[in-house]
Structure formats: structure tokens, C-alpha cells
Amino acid sequence: MLKDYFKLAWENITHRQIRSWLTIIGIVIGIAAVVALISLGQGVKKVITDEFVKIGTDKIFIFPAGGFSSGPPGSATGINPLTEHDIEIIQRSKGVNEVSGILSKPAKIIYDRNTYFTAILGIPLDNSYKLWNEAYNFDFTSGRALKSGDKYKIEIGHDVANNKVFGKNVNIGDKINIEGQDFQVVGIIASIGDPGVDSGIIMPQDTAIQLFNATTPLGKEESELLVKVDQGADPAVVADTIKRDLRRSRNVKEGQEDFSVQTTSQLISSFNVILNALLGIVIGIALISLFVGGVGIMNTMYTAVLQRTNEIGVMKAIGAKNSDILKIFLIESGMLGLIGGVIGVIIGMGLSALVAFIGRTFLNTILLKAYFPWYLIVGALLFAFVVGALSGALPAIQASKQNPVEALRYE
């Protein structure tokens, strides 16, 4: 019997093709927008999570107050900056295996007699370098990484090398003037999708400290610290220990810290909260299209009830129950929603894949990535069917309650 209901619903939909297509347009637009946005949002979350997994769950990041880095080291300078003294305090904290800091500063760059501004990242070349290398492990398209003994040598990001900063390509061996000092390019870093690195320049930390006079009474200034915890230690517990030790050292009360200590898991959670909030707002807007599509289905089903009043009377006269009539119209409206959902899913997947391709090819970012988990596809189709069925509920109830005698006399 249920098979017959679906067959009858399909015949009614295909019998009025133009009206059916116009009805499901709203559902198509809504589902396409939702699928595209969610798949891109899930893609971004997956890329970020994968990047932090590469860094390792045994890492802890420390920033000055107000400072935050989204991936490979970014710039952050608080009112009370981190210093070499903080590294010494953290190194003595229980559960800490290694600590390393980097310095990040904006700088005036002169290349080919033109002036630009970009970020300079000073990385350590002593034993602590291996910690940053373990976490980020940059690949090079040409040249080499900085090594111990380098002073006026630099690595440049992908965008710097490929005319997106200076308007022309920069090659190995070229000279770039940074804050009045000439530096030679020895390495070009492969694109990682982080603008801070792709459009930045990396130099030895000691050289950067000298260049920017980044010293304090408590030692050299640090823009970000990376901590590796002892094997088997709980990063969250170690992070709490570091907070307590830094509060004592910097003479600040709990809740008034001028620094931020976050584990890899906490950073992932912070990103997810932000992304989910943004995604929720945008999807809410997209759901308006689904609402409009639902109204369209309701209108179509009311019209169908009026046009098929005699048909309803005949079915009731030959023994059809109210529940049978109700099921026929509910299935028909649900199928309208499902058809719109199938087309919407296909279009949405295509749109998100196109956006990811544009981001990868033209914007040179790995963050725009489409991800299609099975539950997204199945959920979208079920949601479309439910929207269609609910939109047709009132017309279906009206059709089921019609008096067969009055229905047969209706013209």
C-alpha cells in the first residue's frame, strides 16, 4: 500500500512539472546554501584540527595579554611583553620538557627601491630551534633553512617570493633591506596557507632582537612561547602549573593575568566556538530560503487539494480512509521537499568545491576546504523531506477531512 502512495505522489508531481519545479526552487536554494556553508565550515575546522594535530597535543602556547596566534607563529605584543626571564620560570615548572620563544615585529622593507611593510619573525637557531621545527617543520621550494651562524640571512614566505608582496618575484641570493640592514635570501618557504608566514620574512632571533632593539630589563623580548611537556604529563595540568608560576613571577592576581596560556586542545576549542558562532549566523540566514520554500510547498498543496477535490471524493466513495488521504498528500509534499533536497545537495557540494578550488588556486590558502561527512548529506536530505512534509501537513489534513458527498459535487 505504501508503495502505491509513493507511486501516486510521483505521478501527481510529474503531471504538473512546471508548478512542481517552481515549488521546489526555494528548497533547492536553501539546502544548497546550508550544505555549501556547513561543508566549508567543517572543512576549515578539519584543516585547523589537522594542523594542530601535526603540532602535537603535548604542546602549550603562551602569548602576551591580548595576543593570539591561529597557527604557525603570529605577531602579538602585549603591554607587558613576555621575556627571557619568563622562559627561565617556565623551564622550572613541573612537567615542562622544553621552552622556546620567537620574536615577531612589523618592519619597513625596501626592495628594488620601493618601500613596503610586512611581518618579520625571529626564530632561535640554538638548541631550542628543534622544538619549533618539530611543531611546524616548514617545507622549502628552494634554498635552505636558517642554520647556526647565520646572521644577515633570511627565509621568505611563498607570497613574498611570488610577487604578491613586492610586485615582482624574489629569488635565492637576492638582497632585501630591512630597517636599514641588507639581508640575503637563502630559503623560500612553501605555502602553508597562513598569511602571517606566507607574506612574512624569517630571520635569526638574535639578529631580530638587535635590529629592533627588543630587549627589556628582564632579558630579550618574546612575542610567543612554545612549551613541550614531559612524556606522559597532562598538558592541561602543566598549563595550570605554568599559569601559577608566571602569576607569582610577574606579581599578578588570578583573573588579572597579562599573559595567556593555552594547550593545543584549548586552541582548537577556541577556534571551534568562533567558527560555530559565525556558521550559525550565516546558516540562520540561509534557512530563510528554506522557510520560503516551505511556504511555496504549502501553497502548492492547498492548490492541489482544491484541484483534486473530486478525486478525493471518488477515493473516499470507494473506501479510502481519512488516514489514506492524509498519507497521500503528506508523501507528495515530502517528495517535493526531498527532490529539492537532492538537487540542493548536489548544487551545494558543487558550490563548496568551487570555492575551495578558487581559494586553493587563486587565493593560495588551504583553509578553504570542502568536507562532506556522510551525516551532512543524509541530514540535509532528511531535513528537506521533513520541511516538505510539515509544509504539506495542513493542506493534507484539510483534504482528509473533506466530506465525500460534498467533494463529489465540487466543481
**Pick from 4-8, 67-71, 150-154, 380-384: least confident:** 67-71
Nearest CA-CA partner of 395 in 296, 317, 293: 296
Tell whether the model's pLDDT for residue 141 goes beyond 50: yes
The amino acid occupying position 296 is G
pLDDT of res. 373? 87
pLDDT of res. 71? 40
Q: What is the pLDDT of residues 76-94, one digit of tens each?
A: 444 688 999 999 999 999 9
Domain ranges of the chain: 2-51+269-409, 59-232
- Sign, CA torsion 230/233/234/239: negative
Label residue 213 exposed, middle or buried (CB < 10 Å: 0-12, 13-18, 19+): exposed
Q: What is the pLDDT of residues 286-323, one digit of tens each?
A: 777 778 777 888 887 777 776 667 776 777 777 778 78
Q: Between the CA of residue 62 and those of 119, 223, 249, 264, what are the distances in Å?
A: 19, 9, 15, 11
Kindly state the percentage of the chain with pLDDT values over 90.
Answer: 35
Tell whether the model's pLDDT for residue 237 goes beyond 90: yes
pLDDT of res. 76? 42
Tell whether the model's pLDDT for residue 99 goes beyond 70: yes
Average pLDDT over residues 191-219: 88
Cell of 298: 504549502
pLDDT of res. 219? 87
Return the SS3 of 201. Answer: strand
5 band by pLDDT with thresholds 50, 70 and 90: low
pLDDT of res. 408? 58
Average pLDDT over residues 130-149: 85
pLDDT of res. 79? 62
The amino acid occupying position 99 is V
**Pick from 61-70, 120-129, 280-289: least confident:** 61-70
Q: From CA 37, how far away is CA 355, in angstroms rounded? A: 10
332 band by pLDDT with thresholds 50, 70 and 90: confident
Q: DSSP code of 144?
A: -
Q: From CA 394, how far away is CA 392, in angstroms rounded? A: 6
Cell of 58: 603535548
Q: From CA 264, how far away is CA 58, in angstroms rounded? A: 8
73 band by pLDDT with thresholds 50, 70 and 90: very low
**Pick from 102-116, 186-200, 325-339, 362-376: least confident:** 362-376
Q: What is the pLDDT of residues 213-230, one digit of tens each?
A: 998 888 899 999 999 999
Per the model's pLDDT, the better-predicted residue between 116 and 23 turns out to be 116
Residues 6+ apart with CB under 8 A from 74: 68, 104, 194, 196, 224
pLDDT of res. 10? 74
Rounded to the nearest integer, the mean pLDDT of the chain is: 84
pLDDT of res. 274? 82
Q: How many Cα neighbours within 13 Å face the side chain of 179? A: 16
pLDDT of res. 205? 94
Report phi then psi at 142, rounded to 5: -160, 160
Label residue 28 exposed, middle or buried (CB < 10 Å: 0-12, 13-18, 19+): buried
243 band by pLDDT with thresholds 50, 70 and 90: very high
Q: What is the per-residue burial (b if ≥16 Cβ within 10 Å, else e) of 32-59?
A: bbbbbbbbbbbbbbebbeebbeebeebb
DSSP 379-400: HHHHHHHHHHHHHTHHHHHHHH
Per the model's pLDDT, the better-predicted residue between 194 and 59 turns out to be 59
Tell whether the model's pLDDT for residue 70 goes beyond 50: no
Average pLDDT over residues 201-218: 92
Contact present, 346 and 34 (Cβ < 8 Å): no
Measured in whole angstroms, the distance separating CA 349 from the mean position of its chain's CA atoms is: 16
Kindly state the percentage of the chain with pLDDT values over 70.
Answer: 91
Q: Between the CA of residue 25 and those of 145, 289, 290, 336, what are the distances in Å?
A: 55, 9, 9, 10
pLDDT of res. 184? 96
Q: From CA 396, how far away is CA 315, in angstroms rounded? A: 14
pLDDT of res. 301? 75
pTM for the model stands at: 0.70
pLDDT of res. 410? 52
